[in-house]
């Protein structure tokens, strides 16, 4: 039949157009280029890790927990990072206690309550600008405000000063990440809640915040990790940059926070890295390894928290 012939012809035509070229070279090229960029990133990271581990692992293996529980010392054989760990943990605690509630509160106000006016948009834009201000500038702020102006309360160059400086430093980032998390909550959810007679706060408390929480947590942890690694502002805000210093061994936590000199992990790493003796190179690497472990642990906790809230 005639129609049958036509079908065969059409079929051949369609087959030819569908089969196309054997290999799409351009697609292959793009895929390879993208893979190379990923690999070069990984390669740099791997180099860093290998060099740090190879030079620092010996110290950790030899001294074990002694390295973590020993105090700073100019004698490389005795030097440990106890004060730095405690300092960093308390500083991080300050950031969580001060910047997290303030940041989330400010973001909720900006996103849910503030009318969409020119003033609001101006404030919003400036918070974004603040997030980009170099951290050394926050160090100057810490020096001027928390060390000098509020010295009576903070005790000058103490953990309170350092903690408040870091909290102020990360506050804009905390606000931005929280605001973004809130913006991602669908408007339909707010309408559903208001539709059954919930007030604005009930809607935020029972529906918007729970949905946004995993994203808020993720943002907060990244932010806190950043504060954990900051050194420049702490140098200005009074962290001790020295091979050793002494805290009163029997100081209570209040005295420790308000009266004593302090230091932090990145400061010690920076300081040891400047020392000419070969022993300190290994110590620096060992401190970096401990530091990375802490970061890994913080991120792990964040992932667990986020998963738990997401499942609810």
Partner 1 sequence: MSESEPDMDLNGAPDAVDTAAQPASGDEPGAPPAIFDVEKLNVYYGDFHAVQDVSLPIGKNQITAFIGPSGCGKSTVLRCFNRMNDLIEIARVEGTIEYHGVDLYGLSIDPVEVRRRIGMVFQKPNPFPKSIYDNIAFGPKIAGYKGNMDELVEESLHKAALWDEVKDKLKESALALSGGQQQRLCIARAIATSPDVVLMDEPCSALDPIATLRIEELMQELKADYSILIVTHNMQQAARVSDRTGFFNVELNERGQRTGHLVEFDETGKIFTNPTVKATEDYITGRFG
Q: Alpha-carbon distance 49 to 42, whole Å?
A: 10
Q: Is 188 in the site for partner 1 (CB under 8 A)?
A: yes
Cβ 226 to partner 1 shortest distance, Å: 30
116 counts as binding partner 1 under rule CB under 8 A: yes
Nearer to partner 1, 197 or 276 (CB): 197
Q: How far is the CB of 115 from partner 1 (least distance, A)?
A: 6
**Torsion over CA: 284, 285, 290, 292 (sign):** positive
Q: How far is the CB of 109 from partner 1 (least distance, A)?
A: 15
Q: Enumerate residues 118-147 that contact partner 1 by CB under 8 A.
A: none
How far is it, in rounded angstroms, from Cα 176 to Cα 233? 21
Question: Which lies closer to partner 1 via its Cβ, residue 107 or residue 268?
Answer: 107
Shortest approach of partner 1 to residue 118 CB, angstroms?
13
Residue 20 or residue 115: which is nearer to partner 1 going by CB?
115
Residue 62 sits in the site that holds partner 1 (CB under 8 A): no
Of the listed pieces 13-21, 154-162, 181-189, 250-258, which binds partner 1 according to CB under 8 A? Answer: 181-189
3-state secondary structure of 72: coil
Render 26-49 in DSSP notation, one character per residue. HHHHHHHHHHHHHHHHHHHHHHHH
Nearer to partner 1 (CB atom), residue 192 or residue 293: 192
Near partner 1 by CB under 8 A: residue from 207, 244, 256, 305: 207
* Number of residues near partner 1 (by CB under 8 A): 20
- Token pair 């990145």 is found at 266
The one among 71, 190, 226, 306 contacting partner 1 by CB under 8 A = 190
Query: Judged by CB, which is closer to partner 1: 2, or 188?
Result: 188
Confirm or reject binding of residue 189 to partner 1 (CB under 8 A).
Answer: yes
State yes or no: residue 71 binds partner 1 (CB under 8 A): no
Is the CA virtual torsion 225, 231, 236, 239 positive or negative? positive
Q: How far is residue 80's CA from residue 191's CA, in Å, rounded to a whole number?
A: 57
The distance in angstroms from the start CA to the end CA of the chain is: 66
As given in the structure block, the two tokens for residue 259 are: 């009266």
Can you list the pairs that 160-163 forms with residues at least 24 positions away whose Cβ atoms lie under 8 Å? 160/94, 160/257, 160/258, 161/237, 161/238, 162/87, 162/91, 162/94, 162/234, 162/237, 162/238, 162/239, 162/262, 162/264, 163/90, 163/91, 163/93, 163/94, 163/95, 163/98
197 contributes a contact to partner 1 by CB under 8 A: yes
The residue from 92, 154, 161, 193 that contacts partner 1 (CB under 8 A) is: 193
Binding site for partner 1 (CB under 8 A): 115-116, 186-199, 202, 206-207, 211
């Amino acid at each position: 039949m005639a129609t049958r012939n036509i079908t065969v012809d059409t079929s051949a035509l369609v087959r030819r157009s569908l089969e196309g070229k054997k290999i799409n070279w351009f697609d292959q090229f793009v895929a390879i280029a993208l893979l190379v960029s990923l690999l070069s990133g990984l390669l740099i990271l791997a180099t860093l890790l290998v060099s740090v581990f190879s030079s620092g692992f010996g110290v950790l293996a030899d001294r074990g927990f002694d390295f973590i529980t020993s105090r700073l010392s100019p004698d490389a054989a005795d030097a440990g990072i106890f004060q730095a760990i405690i300092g960093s943990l308390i500083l991080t605690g300050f950031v969580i206690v001060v910047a997290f509630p303030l940041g989330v509160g400010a973001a909720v106000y900006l996103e849910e309550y503030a009318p969409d006016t020119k003033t609001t948009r101006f404030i919003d834009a400036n918070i974004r600008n603040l997030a980009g201000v170099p951290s050394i500038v926050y160090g100057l702020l810490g020096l001027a405000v928390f060390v000098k102006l509020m010295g009576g309360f903070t005790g000058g160059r103490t953990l309170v000063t350092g903690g408040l400086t870091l909290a102020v430093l990360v506050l804009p980032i905390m606000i931005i990440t929280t605001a973004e998390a809130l913006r991602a909550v669908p408007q339909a959810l707010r309408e559903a809640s208001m539709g059954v007679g919930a007030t604005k706060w009930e809607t935020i408390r029972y529906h918007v915040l729970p949905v946004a929480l995993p994203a808020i947590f993720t943002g907060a942890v990244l932010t806190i990790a950043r504060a954990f690694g900051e050194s420049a502002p702490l140098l200005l805000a009074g962290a001790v940059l020295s091979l050793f210093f002494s805290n009163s061994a029997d100081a209570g936590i209040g005295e420790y926070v308000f009266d004593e000199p302090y230091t932090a992990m990145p400061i010690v790493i920076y300081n040891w890295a400047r020392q000419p003796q070969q022993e300190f190179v290994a110590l620096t690497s060992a401190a970096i390894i401990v530091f990375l472990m802490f970061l890994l642990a913080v991120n792990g906790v964040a992932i667990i928290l986020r998963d738990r809230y997401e499942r609810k």
